[in-house]
Structure 1
Amino acid sequence: MESLEKYISINPEIRFGKPCIVNTRIAVIDILEWLASGMTYEEILEDFPSLTRDHILAAINFAAKREGITKISIDKI
């Protein structure tokens, strides 16, 4: 996949600084929640025509990379 900056932006003026798909107000978390709820890529793309398959993959990739660097104390779980 190309650089995530091509697909994901973080702007404090948009969605309170949540990572979003470039040139939209669709947050990475939105896409992850849709997928977790059982929506297919095709359903997401049909409901949100401004998105592409690459946007969905970038959201998953972004979340995976962030998860890879997040440390959680076992006491916090």
Structure 2
Amino acid sequence: MTKLDRITVDPRVCLGQPTVRGMRISVSVILKMLAGGKSLQDVLDAYPELETEDVRQAMQFAAWVVADQVQMVPA
């Protein structure tokens, strides 16, 4: 399994939802933007603190979650 070092789960941040690097930007927000037709650049423009690798790992995390292959350990 590829290391998802940018996806964090902390019960003190966003009610424990998976976020990017502990920021209050949830994986679900990124995925909803992409699913709604926004481009990678649109996401990066909306959240300048994000990097391309953050978005890539958010998508990778989602793919593994739906395949039930990810085990996250709370921070």
Shared fold, TM over 0.5: yes
Q: Which has the higher contact order (CA 8 A, sep 6+)?
A: 2
Query: Number of matched residues?
Result: 68
**Between structures 1 and 2, the one with greater helix share:** 1
AA aligned to 1:3 is K
The residue aligned with 1:65 is: 64
The residue aligned with 2:73 is: none
Unaligned residue ranges in structure 1 (runs of 5+): 71-77
User: Separation in 2 of the partners of 1:68 and 1:22?
Assistant: 23
User: Separation in 1 of the partners of 2:41 and 2:25?
Assistant: 16
The list of structure 1 runs, each at least 4 consecutive aligned residues, that deviate by more than 3 angstroms after superposition, is none
C-alpha offsets along residues 5-63 of structure 1, whole Å, 9 cap, x if unaligned?
x2100000000000000131000000000001111001111111110110011000001
Give the TM-score taking structure 1 as reference length: 0.82
The residue aligned with 1:3 is: 3
Give the TM-score taking structure 2 as reference length: 0.85
Native 8 Å contact 2:40 2:52 kept in 1: yes
- Rg: which structure is higher? 1
Cα RMSD of the aligned pairs, angstroms, is 1.4
